Amino acid sequence: MSDTAPGRFDFLKKSRAFAMSMVAVAVLVLAGAAGWWQLVAKPEHDALMLRAHVTTDLYALYDLQMAYKKRYGAFCGDLETLLKTAPDGGSDLRAKLQAHTHLDTLVVAGDGEKFKLEANVRDAERTLVRVNGPRVGVPLPR
């Protein structure tokens, strides 16, 4: 005894109908994947990349702080003064910081022994990225 009704899958026997149903399934899968990319994956990727850019920008400020300490004997406590020590006067780094962070939340604090750099990312969560320095010891091998 058969548990399927006769003629239930007869459409699979016709190659044109089968091909059309497979094309319809493929279109639905692609539409679902495109929707997932636009609504979930792309925003997450963009936010992750923005946080990475902010981290890179803060480590550029880290390098400027280390050079400032070598030159003046203490870490800089002011963004404007620190940016002026950059080779191009800080215009490139300032533009990157303005594009990636909320400049009103950017903190550059330093004294003779240590410094702190932090800023909020221009993402929906206003993620805080913080770098404290100077780092001591040997960095991990890459």
Helices (H) and strands (E) in the chain, counts: 4, 3
Prediction pTM value: 0.75
For the beta carbon of residue 16, count every other beta carbon within 10 angstroms: 8
Position 140 scores a pLDDT of 64
For residues 79, 81, 85, 86, the Cα torsion angle rounded to the nearest 10 degrees is 30
3-state SS, residue 4: coil
Position 123 scores a pLDDT of 92
Q: Is pLDDT above 80 for 9? A: no
Question: In the structure encoding, which two tokens stand for residue 62, read together?
Answer: 């880290």
Position 2 scores a pLDDT of 55
Tens of pLDDT, residue by residue over 112-135, are 999 999 999 999 999 999 999 898
Burial 116-139 (b: 16+ CB within 10 A, else e): bbbbbbbeeeeeebebebeeeeee
Give the C-alpha separation, 89 to 104, whole Å: 20
End-to-end alpha-carbon separation of the chain, Å? Answer: 67
Tens of pLDDT, residue by residue over 12-59, are 667 787 788 889 999 999 999 999 999 999 999 999 999 999 999 999
Residue with tokens 């010891």: 137
Question: In the structure encoding, which two tokens stand for residue 59, read together?
Answer: 């480590």
